[in-house]
Amino acid sequence: MERESNVDRLTEQLEELQRGRQLIVYALVFFAVMFVAEAIAGFGFGRWFSHRLESERKSEFSRAFDNYLHQRWNFHSGAVTGYAWWAEPWNLARTGRWAEAKALFEGDPTLQGSFDYFAVYSQSDTPRFEFPGAGNTPLVIPPDIVRFLVESRSMQRGETNLILRIGDKPYLVTAAAMADAQGRPQIPGICVFAFSLDRFLISAREILPATLELSEDGSGFLSVPLVASMRSTDAPLYVRITPNTLMEDLIRNILLAFLAFQIVLSILLFAVISPRYVRERTMRLEKMVRASRILNRELELRVDELTAARTEIQKSEKKYRDLVESSREIIFSIDSKGNITTINQAVSSLLGFQPESLIGKSILDLIYVSPDRSMNFRREFISEQIESVIQNQKVASFKTEFVTRYNEPRELETTLEYVPLDGGYAIFGKAASMVEDMLATYCERESMKFVIGNYLTLSEQISQRVTNNLGLHCDAGTTLQIRICVSEMIINGIEHGNLGITYEEKTNATEDGSYLALLRRRQFEAPYSSRKLKVVYSLNPRRLLIVVQDEGAGFNHTQILKDNSMEANKKMHLHGRGITMAKSVFDSMRYNEKGNRVALLKRFRNQTPPTSPGSTIV
């Protein structure tokens, strides 16, 4: 609404100017004010912009000069490796034939033309020989500097770069050991190169569009310290860099030219164009204002629509959050690594954990691990389910025991679902209290046969399946004991039967933490990998019969079945208690002669056991 009132006032003012005789005067005043404002803003902006550009130019000049200086140092290094690392001169020097070595260097015009001074020192501060170089000016390097260079570089790889004031002039000096073409020092001593800093600045002017001169006070447009990253025994030196053209002057001249062009153009505009053209332009402006008024109204309507849509989205999001947070089921999401990204308040009531304390933790940390390490393949089973959901992009449902805050198990019905998102995906899950199968209480008889590979995680699924319909015949405690025993028999058949893992091997691998690696290796080795495990399950009103048969070599079951629980515990450790537990839970436990087939019988409603001790259960 404020925009619309502003547009209306502007339209009324334009209509009044159109009817008045002082339209041109007002226009002239307007243009004059505009020119003054442009001049003030332009000069202010130009000054600020020029300072910014000058700051960038200073950085560029500084980098360019540093690069050029390092190129000169690199040239020194190249000269060292290109000329001084000659095996022949150093072989001559090694035998004391310094005059012949000097003659070899004198015959190299490139060496003398590229430097102002070249000298070779042995163990003293007096050079063995020296050349004045291109500058034809003999130099005397202070003895303490020579001793320092000899001590630091003699019989050492690499070179030392310095900026020294020799006499009244500064020089770029490089010192290196006398070495062969591979840089290996040959004899004690050093060779020294020197190049005039004045000549260096002259050559730098050919590259940098600026004036370069030496300074000791660091003043001027830009002063680059020569000793910032170099070693020196003299007072600091600076190179004062003054560009050929200052950006402030250049921008000011451009701005003056632009303002002059605008003034001339305005004069021509008012002198040549008639008032009729001004009126036509005013009418066009009015049309534009009216069009802008309509556009403003449309924009206001769009804004109102967007505001209403945003409000509805916020309501929907709040409703969704309320539904999730009020749910009695644990609703969560995990990433591809199984780490929890979101979880609702139901985890507090079902497991006792606060939701914020679980964010970022692995979902496997919520899976129950029994103290005696039995039934501890749930975590591996959950990991396989997560990988299956990601690969197949489908839904997985299963039952598993979660751990509560008090480290107690709680069995929950769990569902995992793959959900694609923008640029990736997420896995949403739901865990709820177990819902009893209403038909399980009506199941009187059932039978089935399973043939499985050597995967321990299947033991829990099969044990759950064969005990689902025991509600009509057993209480919950007995059902849980049967389920655990069946799982242990399946695990025994896979581990000790099909995979041939002995009790001693499992005990040692469990203690040193390599059990899972042993299990994985046997699952893919011949002949273990091709073996199968059969589970036959039969239920009727009188009894439950479960037969587990593996394809392994069997074992001596006679003595173990005669042992009591205490002796079995001592002999078979924690992972061998399955047989002892099954003896106490089932009414009958029979092995075949080979020991690779066991039949478990549980009678219901006080059924009378068979009288013949040698009878076989089928």
Q: What is the 3-state secondary structure (H, E, C) of 231-261?
A: ECCCCCCEEEEEECCCHHHHHHHHHHHHHHH
Share the mean pLDDT of the chain.
77
Q: What is the pLDDT of residue 84?
A: 47
The average pLDDT across 24-29 equals 66
Q: Distance between CA 591 and CA 87 in Å, rounded?
A: 89
* Neighbouring-strand partners of residue 179: 185
* pLDDT score of 574: 45
The residue ranking higher by pLDDT, 425 or 408, is 425
pLDDT over 50 (residue 155): yes
The answer, yes or no, to whether residue 176 has pLDDT greater than 90, is no
CATH says 441-603 is which class? Answer: alpha beta
pLDDT-derived band at 516, boundaries 50, 70, 90: confident
Q: Which of 61-65, 146-150, 388-392, 403-407 has the highest mean pLDDT?
A: 388-392
51-162+173-195 CATH: 3.30.450
Residue of 608, 499, 604, 488 whose CA lies nearest to 543: 604
Whether 148 shows a pLDDT value over 70: the answer reads yes
Q: What is the mean pLDDT of residues 572-591?
A: 77
pLDDT, one tens digit per residue, over 315-325 is 776 766 767 77
Is 516 or 25 the better-scoring residue by pLDDT? Answer: 516
Residue 552 or residue 400, greater confidence: 552
Average pLDDT over residues 391-404: 85
> How much is the pLDDT for 531?
93
Q: What is the pLDDT of residues 73-93, one digit of tens each?
A: 777 666 655 554 466 777 787
Least confident of 4-8, 287-291, 329-333, 579-583: 4-8
Would you state the pLDDT for residue 332?
92
Highest average pLDDT, of 24-28, 56-60, 171-175, 545-549, comes from 545-549
DSSP one-letter code for 613: T
Mean pLDDT of 130-158: 77
> How many whole angstroms from its chain centre is CA 249?
48
The pLDDT value given to residue 136: 64
pLDDT at 572: 46
Asked whether the predicted pLDDT for residue 203 surpasses 50, the reply is: yes
pTM: 0.39
pLDDT for res 56: 79
C-alpha distances (whole Å) from 195 to each of 73, 89, 101, 114, 153 are: 10, 23, 22, 8, 19
Q: State the span(s) of the chain assigned CATH 3.30.450.20.
A: 327-433
pLDDT value, residue 568: 47
Per-residue pLDDT, 200? 79
Q: Quote the CA–CA distance of 350 and 254 in Å, as a whole number.
A: 76
Q: Residue 21 above 70 pLDDT?
A: no
pLDDT of residue 570: 47
Confidence of residue 500 (pLDDT cuts 50, 70, 90): very high
Q: What is the pLDDT of residue 231?
A: 44
What CATH number was assigned to the domain covering residues 327-433? 3.30.450.20
Q: Give the least confident one: 60-69, 455-464, 606-615.
A: 606-615
d(CA 94, CA 531): 80
Residue 610: band (very low, low, confident or very high) from pLDDT cuts 50, 70, 90: very low
Least-confidence region, from 118-122, 126-130, 259-263, 487-491: 259-263
For 425, the enclosing helix (H) or strand (E) is strand 424-433
pLDDT band at 352 (very low <50, low <70, confident <90, very high): confident
Q: If you ran DSSP here, which 8-state letter would residue 367 be given? A: B
* pLDDT for res 102: 80
Selected residue with higher pLDDT from 534 and 350: 534
What confidence category does residue 45 fall into, taking pLDDT thresholds of 50, 70 and 90? Answer: confident
Question: Predicted confidence band at 378 (pLDDT cuts at 50, 70, 90)?
Answer: confident
Q: Any long-range contacts for 95-98 (C-beta under 8 Å, 24+ apart)?
A: 98/128, 98/129
More confident position, 215 or 163: 163
* pLDDT, greater one: 20 or 150: 150
Determine the pLDDT at residue 600. 95
Spatial neighbors of 481 by CB under 8 A, at least 6 apart, are: 581, 585
Instruction: Decide which of 598 and 298 is more confident.
Output: 598
pLDDT in tens, 225-269: 775 334 444 567 778 777 777 766 777 778 777 777 777 777 766
618 pLDDT band, cuts 50/70/90, is very low
Q: Which residues of 391-427 are buried (b: 16+ CB within 10 A; e: fewer)?
A: eeeeebebebbbbeeeeebbebebebbbeeeeeeebb
Supply the pLDDT for residue 278: 60
C-beta of residue 114 within 8 angstroms of C-beta of residue 79? yes
Q: Is residue 132 within 8 Å of 116, Cβ to Cβ? A: yes
For residues 11 and 263, the answer to whether their CB atoms sit within 8 Å is: no
SS3 at position 207: coil
What is the pLDDT at residue 404?
84
Structure confidence at residue 232 (pLDDT): 47
∠ Cα 79 84 88 (to 5°): 145
Mean pLDDT, residues 370-382: 66
Which pLDDT does position 597 carry in this prediction? 95
pLDDT of residue 94: 81
For residue 181, name the pLDDT band (cuts at 50, 70, 90).
Answer: low
Neighbouring residues of 166: CB distance < 8 A, sequence distance ≥ 6: 139, 140, 141, 142, 194
pLDDT top residue among 473 and 537 = 537
457 - beta bridge partners?
none
